[in-house]
Amino acid sequence: MPGTSDPNVPDSVDNSQASSVRRSVDYITESHGPPESLLQGPDSDAPGVAAGAWHEDWPEIHQAPMLSVCVLLHTGGAAVQKLAGEMGRGTSMHPGAAMLQPPGAQGLWRRAPHPCTTQSVKLFIEPQHLREVAGSVFGGDGHRAQLHDVYGTRDRFLVSVLAAIRDNLESPSRGSPLFLESVTGPLLHHLLREYSNLGGRVERGVASTALHAPGIDDAIDYMESNLDRTLSLTKIAEAAGLSRYHFLRQFKAATGQTPHRYLMQRRLERAKKSLLDPRRSIGEIALATGFSSQSHLTTAFRKAYGVSPGKFRAQRDR
């Protein structure tokens, strides 16, 4: 198994107690260097999902065994030619294209010209997440679902999700774990529908009772009571009594928003109200409303309202 006896996996990754996501991140870090930015799920010791932006100097030939689900967006630099694998063999991937590598898949690539540098965003997902979503999507057949090895696709949905993750990583706060968890479920649903052996057998629709599901009200109450804290999708879904996957679908059906967008809106609304109190500093308000810093609040506030918090406060004081 990768991480135990596979000669392509560095010794530092040989840790059976670590999650496959952690081992995948460690492997890429050792073989290509540390990421420019890295965002992980709430449990840093065993993250179920992680994303990072890499600026990499590559050898001419590179082989990469993957331990988790890996989805990659090529964001810049040299083209990459695939030499071996289930699909896409012999084709080149240019910036703007994406690839999917299932757990256990072996990839072999050539970078051209050599030596060369590439930039990419990589998303790693624990196989257990894939199994959970497959069970929700395919029911009793979910255990038979297997993702294909996909290379060089310009799938609009896949590329747009990875581009949004890149933008989130580049934000002043270096990304939101809740955002990362929020996009993982819909992305896995899409991958299973489009790139699995069971594709085309997806159950459609969301129960109409979602608008009145008491679990959604419980989740909203939980978020409202913890706006000042870092919230994970897992904890919010637990408050609703639902799996992450079902919670995301029902919450979107009930509110028209993802949990991440809803939470950002409520934090901004609370910050806006708090700015009316001249005794409180903007930095204090930022931390009290769940933003990582005054700069994080300022960026989000300006994007939402067109003015900075300081200017908004000055306008109200006139």
Number of domains in the chain: 3
Write phi, then psi, for 34 (nearest 5 degrees). Answer: -70, 150
CATH value at residue 310: 1.10.10.60
Q: Are residues 214 and 300 in the same domain?
A: no
Q: Is residue 261, in this structure, part of any structural domain at all?
A: no
Q: Are residues 282 and 236 in the same domain?
A: no
Strand partners, 108: 63, 84
| pLDDT of 117 higher than 50 | yes
CATH value at residue 226: 1.10.10
Q: What is the pLDDT of residue 265?
A: 87
239/226 Cα distance (integer angstroms)? 12
Cβ atoms of 66 and 85 within 8 Å: the answer is: no
Q: Is 120 helix (H, G, I), strand (E, B) or coil?
A: strand
Q: What is the pLDDT of residue 205?
A: 31
Q: Is residue 100, in this structure, part of any structural domain at all?
A: yes
Q: Is residue 294, in this structure, part of any structural domain at all?
A: yes
Q: Is residue 192, in this structure, part of any structural domain at all?
A: no
Owner of token pair 């929700």:
136
- What is the DSSP-derived secondary structure letter of residue 46? S
Q: Which residue has the higher pLDDT, 88 or 247?
A: 247
* Burial environment of residue 317 by CB neighbours within 10 A (0 to 12, 13 to 18, 19 or more): exposed
271-291 pLDDT, tens digit each: 998 998 999 999 999 999 999
**What band does 308 get if pLDDT is binned at 50, 70 and 90?**
very high
Q: Which residue has the higher pLDDT, 117 or 225?
A: 225
Q: Is residue 19, in this structure, part of any structural domain at all?
A: yes
Q: What is the pLDDT of residue 62?
A: 59
Q: Are residues 119 and 234 in the same domain?
A: no
Q: Is residue 199, in this structure, part of any structural domain at all?
A: no
Cβ atoms of 187 and 129 within 8 Å: the answer is: no
Q: Which of 135, 166, 197 is the last residue of a domain?
A: 166
Q: Are residues 106 and 49 in the same domain?
A: yes
Q: Are residues 148 and 92 in the same domain?
A: yes
pTM metric for this prediction: 0.65
315/275 Cα distance (integer angstroms)? 11
**What band does 64 get if pLDDT is binned at 50, 70 and 90?**
low
Owner of token pair 């939101």:
176
3-state per-residue secondary structure call for 107-145:
EEEEEECCCEEEEEEEEEECHHHHHHHHHHHHHHHHHHC
Q: Is 274 helix (H, G, I), strand (E, B) or coil?
A: helix
66-92 pLDDT, tens digit each: 789 999 998 887 777 766 554 445 567
Q: Which of 166, 194, 226 is the last residue of a domain?
A: 166
Q: What is the pLDDT of residue 8?
A: 33
Q: Are residues 15 and 98 in the same domain?
A: yes
Q: Are residues 33 and 116 in the same domain?
A: yes
Q: Is residue 174, in this structure, part of any structural domain at all?
A: no
115/93 Cα distance (integer angstroms)? 17
Q: Are residues 108 and 225 in the same domain?
A: no
The whole-chain average pLDDT of the chain stands at 79
Tokens of 24: 């995948």
**What band does 297 get if pLDDT is binned at 50, 70 and 90?**
very high
**What band does 2 get if pLDDT is binned at 50, 70 and 90?**
very low
Q: What is the pLDDT of residue 1?
A: 31
| pLDDT of 309 higher than 90 | yes
Q: Are residues 21 and 159 in the same domain?
A: yes
Q: Are residues 247 and 134 in the same domain?
A: no
Q: Are residues 291 and 271 in the same domain?
A: yes
24/12 Cα distance (integer angstroms)? 11
Q: Is residue 5, in this structure, part of any structural domain at all?
A: no
**What band does 203 get if pLDDT is binned at 50, 70 and 90?**
very low
Say whether the peptide bond before residue 177 is cis (omega within 30 degrees of 0).
Answer: no
User: What residue numbers bound the domain in which 135 lies?
Assistant: 11-166
3/25 Cα distance (integer angstroms)? 12
Side chain identity, residue 26: D
120-178 pLDDT, tens digit each: 999 999 999 999 999 888 888 888 899 988 888 888 889 889 999 988 888 766 667 88
Q: Are residues 124 and 213 in the same domain?
A: no
